[in-house]
C-alpha cells in the first residue's frame, strides 16, 4: 500500500541554509533504500515535505526526520493512502520557493510531479501543497518555544492555601483537581473527580446506580464546601441520566449546595459527552431546571464521544472541557489543531467557555494557549509528590 505523509516544520535558528543541499543529497540516498520519494519545499523559514512510499519506509524516514534538531515545530498535516505517487522521482528533491517568482511558483512545483495524471485534480495532498506555496493559513502556524525555556515551580508558600488543601483531599473515591490560568498564575476553578469505577463495580439496578451517583456528587459539594474560596467554581461530574431518572435530582443538588454554604453560581455540573443521553428531551428539561436554579452546565470529554459539534446545536452548555484525546500531542498534529480551532470558533460564537484538559506536556499547553485557550487542567500543573499546583516560569537565561 502506498502511504502519503505530509508535514511542515520550522528551520532551527542556528542552521545555515547552505547545509541544505548536502542534507538533501544524503537524505535522498536513504529514501531510495526505503523506496520513498517526495518533495521538500523550503520558503526561507518553513519546510513542507511530502513523503510517499510503502508504509514501513515512510514511517522509518519520518521517525528520523522528527528527531532531527535542524528543525522544530514539526506538525503532521496528513497521513493517507493513494493509488499512485505524485512525486515519484528517486529519493527526494529540494525546492526553494524563494528562487521562483510568485506567479509561476505553484506551476513550477507542480511541474516536478510525476503522476500519470495532471497534478491539478482535487487531491488533498496537492491542496496542502498549494496552501503552503501560496502562504495561506500562516496565521495558524503557532510556533511553540522550546520547552527548555520553562520550569514548573511549586510555590512553597502556597502549601496550605485552600486550593492546595483541597487537591490533597481524597475521600470516598472523590479527588479534587485544579483548573488554572497559567499566565495569570491563578487557579480559576476546581474539578471534583468521582472515581466511577467504585460505583460501577457495585451491581445495582439502574435507579440505585443513579441514586449513588447523585449522592456522591452531593458529597463532593459538601467536602469542597469547607474549603472552596468564594470566588472559585467547582465542577462536579454527574451522569446525564441521573438528572433524568431521579425526579428531584436538581432539588437535591440545590439543597446540597446550600448545606455546604456555597452559592449555586459556584457549581457547574459536568456531564460527559460520552455518556449516552437516551432521553434527550427529558435531559433538556432537567438542564432547564438546573439553570433556573443558577447551576451551570459543562460538557466533559468534549470531542471524545460521538455527539461532537452537533451536540451544541441541541444544548448550549456554559463550559466545555476538551478531552485529553484531542489535547494529547496537539502541537504536532494538524488534524487535532484543526479540530481545536473549529471548537474554539464555535464556542466563541456561542460564548461558551473552553477548558483544555489532560495536559501532560508543556508543548501542548503552549500550543493551546497560542490558539486562545486560557484555562487548563492536567498533570503538567500538579506536582507529583505534593499535589500542589506547579506554575510555569520562564527560566532565567544570562
Ligand atoms: C526538513 C528536513 C527534511 C528531511 N528529509 C529527510 C528525508 O526525506 N529522508 C531522510 O532520510 N532524511 C531526511 N532528513 C534528515 C534526517 O533527519 C536524518 O538526518 C537522516 O535520515 C540521516 O539520519 P542520521 O543522521 O541518523 O544518519 C531531513 C531533515 C530535515 C531537517
pLDDT in tens, 137-182: 788 888 888 788 888 888 766 666 777 788 888 777 899 999 999 9
Contact 126, 119 (CB under 8 A): yes
Contact 331, 367 (CB under 8 A): yes
pLDDT tens per residue across span 291-325:
999 999 999 999 887 767 888 888 889 999 999 99
Cα Rg for the chain, rounded, in angstroms?
25
Please give the number of the atom of ligand 1 that sits closest to the Cα of 42: 1
Cα(26) to centroid of ligand 1, in Å? Answer: 8
Residue owning the nearest CA to atom 24 of ligand 1: 64
Distance CA 91, CA 88 (A): 8
The percent of residues in the chain predicted with pLDDT above 70, rounded, is 93
Cα(65) to centroid of ligand 1, in Å? Answer: 5
Concatenating the DSSP letter of every residue in 331-366 gives: GGBHHHHHHHHHHHHHHHHTT-EEEE----SHHHHH
Contact 264, 290 (CB under 8 A): no
The pick from 30, 38, 56, 66 for probing ligand 1's pocket by mutation, whose C-beta has the most ligand atoms within 8 angstroms, reads 30
Query: Given phi > 0 = left and psi -120 to 50 = alpha, else beta, which region is 152?
Result: beta
Please give the number of the atom of ligand 1 that sits closest to the Cα of 23: 15
Q: Which residues line ligand 1 (CB under 6 A)?
A: 9, 23, 27, 30-31, 40, 47, 49, 61, 64-65, 68, 70-71, 92
Distance CA 166, CA 145 (A): 33
Q: Which CATH class is domain 2-140?
A: alpha beta
| Structure-model confidence comparison of residues 214 and 387, the more confident one | 214
What's residue 156's pLDDT? 66
Please give the number of the atom of ligand 1 that sits closest to the Cα of 9: 1
What's residue 341's pLDDT? 95
Mean local confidence (pLDDT), 270-275: 83
Q: Start-end ranges of CATH 3.20.20.450 in the chain?
A: 147-394
Q: Start-end ranges of CATH 3.30.70.100 in the chain?
A: 2-140
Cα(151) to centroid of ligand 1, in Å? Answer: 30
Which of 253, 274, 275, 272 is closest to 264 using CA atoms?
Answer: 253
Mean local confidence (pLDDT), 238-251: 94
Given a cut of 60, is residue 104 above it in pLDDT? yes
Task: Note the CATH architecture for domain 147-394.
Answer: Alpha-Beta Barrel (3.20)
Cα(64) to centroid of ligand 1, in Å? Answer: 6
The pick from 64, 74, 132 for probing ligand 1's pocket by mutation, whose C-beta has the most ligand atoms within 8 angstroms, reads 64
The pick from 6, 17, 22, 27 for probing ligand 1's pocket by mutation, whose C-beta has the most ligand atoms within 8 angstroms, reads 27
Distances in Å between the alpha carbon of 351 and those of 53, 104, 354? 45, 43, 9
The x, y and z cell numbers of residue 123, run together, are 487531491
Amino acid at each position: 500500500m502506498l502511504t502519503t505523509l505530509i508535514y511542515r516544520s520550522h528551520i532551527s535558528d542556528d542552521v545555515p541554509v547552505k547545509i541544505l543541499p548536502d542534507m538533501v543529497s544524503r537524505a535522498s540516498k536513504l529514501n531510495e533504500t526505503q523506496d520513498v520519494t517526495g518533495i521538500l519545499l523550503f520558503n526561507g523559514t518553513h519546510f513542507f515535505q511530502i513523503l510517499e512510499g510503502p508504509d514501513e519506509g515512510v514511517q522509518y524516514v519520518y521517525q528520523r526526520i522528527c528527531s532531527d534538531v535542524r528543525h522544530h515545530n514539526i506538525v503532521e498535516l496528513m497521513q493517507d493512502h493513494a493509488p499512485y505517487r505524485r512525486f515519484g522521482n528517486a529519493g527526494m528533491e529540494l525546492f526553494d520557493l524563494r528562487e521562483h517568482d510568485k506567479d509561476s511558483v505553484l506551476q513550477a512545483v507542480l511541474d516536478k510531479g510525476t503522476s500519470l495524471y495532471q497534478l491539478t485534480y482535487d487531491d488533498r495532498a496537492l491542496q496542502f501543497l498549494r496552501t503552503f506555496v501560496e502562504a495561506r493559513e500562516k496565521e495558524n502556524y503557532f510556533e511553540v518555544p522550546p520547552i527548555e525555556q520553562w520550569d514548573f515551580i511549586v510555590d512553597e508558600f502556597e502549601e496550605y492555601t485552600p486550593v492546595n488543601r483541597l487537591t490533597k483531599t481524597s475521600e470516598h473515591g472523590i479527588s479534587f483537581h485544579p483548573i488554572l490560568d497559567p499566565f495569570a498564575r491563578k487557579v480559576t476553578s476546581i474539578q471534583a473527580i468521582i472515581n466511577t469505577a467504585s460505583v460501577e463495580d457495585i451491581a445495582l439496578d439502574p435507579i440505585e446506580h443513579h441514586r449513588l451517583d447523585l449522592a456522591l456528587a452531593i458529597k463532593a459539594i459538601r467536602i469542597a464546601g469547607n474549603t472552596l474560596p468564594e470566588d472559585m467554581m467547582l465542577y462536579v461530574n454527574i451522569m446525564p441520566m441521573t438528572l433524568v431518572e431521579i425526579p428531584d435530582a436538581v432539588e437535591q443538588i440545590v439543597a446540597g449546595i446550600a448545606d455546604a454554604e456555597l452559592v449555586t453560581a459556584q457549581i457547574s455540573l459536568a456531564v460527559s459527552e460520552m455518556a449516552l443521553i437516551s432521553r434527550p428531551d427529558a435531559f433538556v428539561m432537567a438542564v432547564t431546571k438546573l439553570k433556573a436554579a443558577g447551576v451551570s452546565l459543562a460538557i466533559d470529554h468534549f470531542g471524545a464521544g460521538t455527539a461532537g459539534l452537533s451536540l451544541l446545536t441541541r444544548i448550549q452548555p456554559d463550559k466545555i472541557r476538551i478531552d485529553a484525546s484531542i489535547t494529547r500531542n496537539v502541537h504536532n498534529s494538524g488534524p487535532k489543531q484543526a479540530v481545536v480551532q473549529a471548537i474554539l470558533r464555535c464556542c466563541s460564537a456561542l460564548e461558551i467557555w473552553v477548558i483544555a484538559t489532560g495536559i501532560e506536556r508543556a508543548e501542548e499547553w503552549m500550543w493551546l494557549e497560542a490558539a486562545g485557550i486560557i484555562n487548563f487542567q492536567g498533570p503538567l500543573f500538579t506536582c507529583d509528590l505534593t499535589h500542589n499546583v506547579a506554575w510555569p516560569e520562564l527560566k532565567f537565561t544570562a
